[in-house]
Amino acid sequence: MRYAMAIDTLKCVGCSDCVVACQTENDVPQGYCRDWIKETVNGLYPTVELEYRSERCNQCDNTPCVRTCPTGASLVSDGGIVLVDDDKCIGCGACIESCPYDARYFHPEKGTVDKCTFCNHRVTDGEDPACVSVCPTKCMYFGDLEDSESDVSIALKNRNYKTLAPETGTKPQVYYLV
Amino acid sequence: MQSRRKFIKISTASAGTMMLPLSFPSFFSGDDEDVSKLKKVPTYCEVCFWKCAGWAYVNEKGDIKKIVGNKFDPHSNGRFCPRGTGGVGMYNDPDRLKQPMMRKTRNGKQEFVNVSWNEALDFIAQKMKDIKSEHGAESLALFNHGSGGKHFSTLFKAFGSTNITAPSYAQCKGPREEAFKATFGKSVGSPEPADIKNTDCLVLLGNHIGENMHNNLVQEVADIQDRKATIITVDPRLSTIAAHSKYWLPIKPSTDLALLLAWINVIIDRGIYDKDYVEKYANGFDELKNHVNDFTPEWAEKITEIPAEQIKKTAWEMAQAAPKVIIHPGRHVTWYGDDTQRLRAIAILNAILGSYGREGGFYLPNKGKLPKMPLPAYPKPNWSWKEMMGDKYPYAHYSVANAFIDATHPDFKGEHKLKGWFAVGTNLTTTIPDQKRTLEAIDNLDLFVVVDTMPAEICGYADVILPECTYLERCDHPRISPHRKANFAVRMPAVKPKYLTKPASWMVMKLGNRLGLQDYFPYKDYSEVIDWQLRQIGSSLADMKQRGVKLQPEFNHGLFIKDGEDYNFKTASGKIELYAHDLEKKGFDPLPFYTEHEKPSKGFYRLNYGRAPMHTFTRTTNNPNLTDLMDANNLWVNSITAKENSLYNGQEVWLKNQDGIVSAFSINVRVTERIRPDMVYMIHGFGRSNKMLENSYGKGISDSELITNVKIDPIMGGTGMRANFVSFITEKPRKEEAIV
């Protein structure tokens, strides 16, 4: 089992529905987010390219956050999902510093570090993560990479894709279809 | 005239009593909350007019945890847009209106005072009676937007006034409704019956789908991208959909009609129109052919700055795809004052490509039905907005909101004057351009009642403010809207109304009792009426609480005109009117002409405005969930323009328009290549000026205050808003008399 996500940058309109859906699903406090939208514009008018990306924890295969955690609170769970154990987290912030994607934040109410869980609680019930299930453009695909028939496997088979900051060696598992 | 209607900054007068404890959502329960314990309540969204049906999830403590789409709903297909998903912020917003307020004078100073519902409603009922006896019931007017307005419409009609209007016509989609009516005999309607999911070519003019989140439309556009359907986007700005399109035509603003005429020219000239369809269903082809003869791509290139080759190529793409082609009518189309004619050109283009009533073009929508509870007949008013408008706007089939302002203004010479207004769910000064005139009209009123969930700017001018509860706290008329499949959706209260807020259905019932109109409101709670309606068709409230949406296949007819069918269009001739006799009879051009519009003078740039996916008008710009995503607008400026004016990215500027109006607040510059150098762009709905909106006050600029040059469409009264030009002010201007 290896959970992964593929996001079609040619369809994403950057509407941020994934961000609000995540906030309400996971009680993310206002002013914070587990996922966010990046806009990239290249070229000069009128030859311009635009890309929107819905970004989040890349649920990496090679996890600097887990390595740097002094208490073992950051861990790799079933299907490669990287989680934070609230009972063990002391909020030291080492993982926040180590993440090349800036995907973690200090939760002001819990006093611990918080991040995308791929909506672990939904996925174990056989549902898609909240962001995937709400997306009006259906530009996000989620599933098990070891299942060749999963939505994410099919999307990656049929399209070109990229990952973010591959040079850091983190082996990210969120793919961007281009 | 008493200048009693000085804008009152609500917060200063009432701050002490308004500070109620905030209820913070619990952040801790989160992932651990047992979803199966959440109660699911059906609703349809009221953040925008698309009215998607969904479910509100409520926990045992009575907190609304989330709102998700109903998968049987054709508007949402189970997926809400960011505004619908963040709709819970409308309920949780700490700046909401909390109890009725009345304008009172104390020590010579006007202020809003919190009052009881009884006091507020007694006052309103008495004023309504006074106005009726002095001027007639007809001199009361209702401006509305959304579900609350429907209840007030009943009250108005029962009281004897049919002077009911909504800015969604003359400030938004009116021109397309009339252009399609003149051409196909039927207005477009909402949601637009464009068969996007089956089209092979979608053409958008200034229609930024994806930035406007008209839900199933956005979904269908994404679907056709999967199968590489052609999208052609005409926009002076690289909108999101322009970036996703095969062709982006960065047209010179205000010249769209020239492009449309050139497309028609190419398609007729090359004989690539749908000859069979035109011959069978359309009138006036020869006149059209003669009319567009000179409107060549080369002619249009000089006007639009789009190369003639590009015009020919895109025309060819449309013809290749026909009849599976949609030249989309758009929604907010009140731009330059000749908008009905521009939309006529769009209708004509669709007609000659044979797309109307065809798969992949425009479908013929189906509509659900529910019996209405029998009410006493409404009294017949002595006059209505039709008589009030007289000869003005002879092709307006709906009431024109700005004509209501005219009929209230002290300079009105007509016989039928308006003396009292109700504004329900519509923030008039940010919706209707020329704020100064609107305020002069308001100052001439005997009664002004505002009903809203939020302290919108318009509240500051009211005599009485009635706090409506949000859609999540009330039930309303079932949503019955045209779509591919006949259906209806219900809205039930997910939670009890917060504070002292009340549903509009309750307000009109209580007012009805005071006015002797109780027979029109035969309920204690509006859910009784809905239950009665549902029982007539073998359903019930209990049944609909489980479903939310009900499909009514018994009302479905075919979606498309069958091959060779003798289809009868609802025009006078029964045919598509390429040559619009209806318009000709009223004294207008039966075929559209391009006319040149005002251009910016040196140092000025055309002000354009639009939507962001997470906001709808001013309705959302204080919503804490949605301001998290965007809390202010910024000013899009091309790098060439930035250089000319020594502007840098992120710089704070103020704007001054062609009439010398200076923006009340500032805005940050966004230097971007996504826009033409001759214009600037901002998201509508920001620059909030009511201090009671603590979350949004003073953030960004309101485009509305800068729209003072209004180009009225003589055909239907639409207010063209895109002939306004601004220059940049880089030093904070000295405090001038701000009008809002």
Contacts of B80 in chain A (CB under 8 A): 17, 134, 136
For residue A160, give its domain range. 3-177
**Burial of residue A159 (number of CB atoms within 10 Å: 0-12, 13-18, 19+):** middle
Distance CA B23, CA B624 (A): 13
Query: Which residues of A lie closer than 8 Å to B, measured between beta carbons?
Result: 10-11, 13-17, 19-21, 23-31, 33, 41, 43-46, 48-50, 52, 107, 109-110, 117, 120-121, 133-139
Residue B498: predicted pLDDT:
97
Q: B310 Cβ partners below 8 Å, 6+ apart?
A: B247, B249
Is the CB of B238 less than 8 angstroms away from the CB of A121?
A: no
| Nearest residue in chain B measured CA to CA from A123 | B31
Could B31 and A117 be called an inter-chain contact, meaning their C-beta atoms sit closer than 8 Å?
Answer: yes
Domain that holds residue B10: 1-137+451-557
Retrieve residue B145's tokens. Answer: 């937007």
CB B646 within 8 A of CB B714: no
> Which has the closest alpha carbon to B284: B708, B641, B591, B72?
B591
**What's the average model confidence in pLDDT over B639-657?**
98
The CA distance from A118 to the nearest CA of chain B, in Å, is 12
Q: What is the pLDDT of residues B233-267, one digit of tens each?
A: 999 999 999 999 999 999 999 999 999 999 999 99
Chain A: give the shortest CA distance to residue B728, in Å.
21
Interface test with B, best of A9, A10, A11, A13 (most B CBs within 10 A): A13
Verify that B330 and B198 share a domain, yes or no: yes
Let me know if B34 is exposed, middle or buried by CB neighbors in 10 A (0-12, 13-18, 19+): exposed
B342 plus B476 within the same structural domain: no
CA B558 from centre of chain = 29
CB atoms B673 and A43 under 8 Å = yes
In chain B, the percentage of residues whose pLDDT exceeds 90 is 94
Q: Are residues B106 and B234 both part of a single domain?
A: no
B378, part of any domain: no
Interface test with B, best of A8, A10, A19, A20 (most B CBs within 10 A): A20
**Contact present, A143 and A150 (Cβ < 8 Å):** yes
In a domain, B232, yes or no: yes
CATH of the domain at B278: 3.40.228.10
Q: What's the pLDDT tens digit per position in B507-550?
A: 999 999 999 999 999 999 999 999 999 999 999 999 999 999 99
Q: Provide the CATH number for the domain around residue B512.
A: 3.40.50
Q: Tell me the average pLDDT of chain B.
A: 94
Using a CB-CB distance cutoff of 8 angstroms, which residues of chain B are in contact with residue A31?
A: 628
pLDDT for the residue numbered B24 = 35
Q: Which residues pair with B362 in a beta bridge?
A: B194, B356
To test the contact with chain A by mutation, choose from B36, B629, B634, B640 the residue with the greatest count of A C-beta atoms within 10 A, namely: B629
**Number of domains making up chain B:** 3
Is residue B562 in some structural domain? Answer: no
Task: Answer yes or no: is B376 within a domain.
Answer: no
Residues of chain A with pLDDT under 70: none
Question: In this structure, are B613 and B724 located in the same domain?
Answer: yes
Facing residue for B80 by CB, picked from A29, A46, A134: A134
Residues B87 and B215 in one domain: no
The pLDDT, as a whole number, for residue B5 is 52
Q: Is pLDDT above 60 for B26?
A: no
Q: Does the pLDDT value for residue B31 go beyond 60?
A: no
Round to the nearest angstrom and report the end-to-end CA distance of chain B: 20
Q: Quick check: B202 and B230 in contact, CB under 8 A?
A: yes
Residue B736 pLDDT grade (very low, low, confident, very high; cuts 50, 70, 90): low
Residues B546 and B581 in one domain: no
Do B88 and B228 fall within a single domain?
no
Percent of chain B with pLDDT over 70: 94
Same domain, B467 and B521: yes
Structure confidence at residue B37 (pLDDT): 84
Is the domain of B231 the same as that of B133?
Answer: no
Judge whether B552 and B369 are in contact, CB under 8 Å. Answer: yes
The whole-number average pLDDT for the span B419-443 is 97
Q: Side chain identity at A17, as an amino acid letter?
A: D
For residue B341, how far is the Cα from the chain centroid? 20
| Residue of B673, B680, B681, B694 for testing the chain A interface, max A β-carbons within 10 Å | B673
Q: What is the mean pLDDT of residues B604-612?
A: 98
- Closest partner residue to A136 (CB to CB) among B219, B241, B614 is B219
Residue B403 inside a domain? The answer is: no
ipTM of the complex: 0.96
**Residue B694 forms part of a structural domain:** yes
Asked if B26 lies within 8 A of A27 by C-beta distance, the reply is yes
Task: For B263-297, write each residue's pLDDT tens digit.
Answer: 999 999 999 999 999 999 999 999 999 999 999 99
Number of helical (H) and strand (E) elements in chain A, helices listed first: 6, 10
Search chain B and give the residue with CA nearest A35. B629
Chain A partners within 8 Å of B88 (Cβ) = 24
A14 contact residues in B (CB cutoff 8 A): 240, 613
Q: Which of B25-34, B291-300, B435-444, B674-683 has the lowest mean pLDDT?
A: B25-34
Which chain A residues are Cβ-neighbours of B85 within 8 angstroms? Answer: 17, 20-21, 24, 134
- B88, B222, B674 ranked by CB distance to A137: nearest: B222
Domain count, chain A: 1
Cβ <8 Å between B629 and A20: yes
* A and B: number of Cβ contacts within 8 A: 137
CATH number at residue A24: 3.30.70.20
Q: Is residue B374 included in any domain, yes or no?
A: no
The Cα of A27 is separated from the nearest Cα of chain B by a number of Å equal to 5
Within 10 Å of residue B227's Cβ, how many Cβ atoms? 8
- Amino acid code (one letter) for A47: T
On whether residue B547 sits in a domain, the answer given is: yes
Residue to test with chain B: of A11, A12, A15, most B Cβ within 10 A = A15
Selecting from A48, A110, A133 the residue whose C-beta is nearest the C-beta of B673 gives A48
Alpha-carbon distance B451 to nearest alpha carbon in chain A (angstroms):
28
In this prediction, residue B1 has a pLDDT band, given cuts at 50, 70 and 90, of very low
At residue A176, the pLDDT reads 98
Would you state the pLDDT for residue B488? 98
Distance from CA of A110 to the nearest CA of B (A): 7
Name every chain B residue with its beta carbon within 8 A of the beta carbon of A46: 238, 248, 250, 676
Looking at the fold, whether B618 and B476 belong to one and the same domain comes out as no
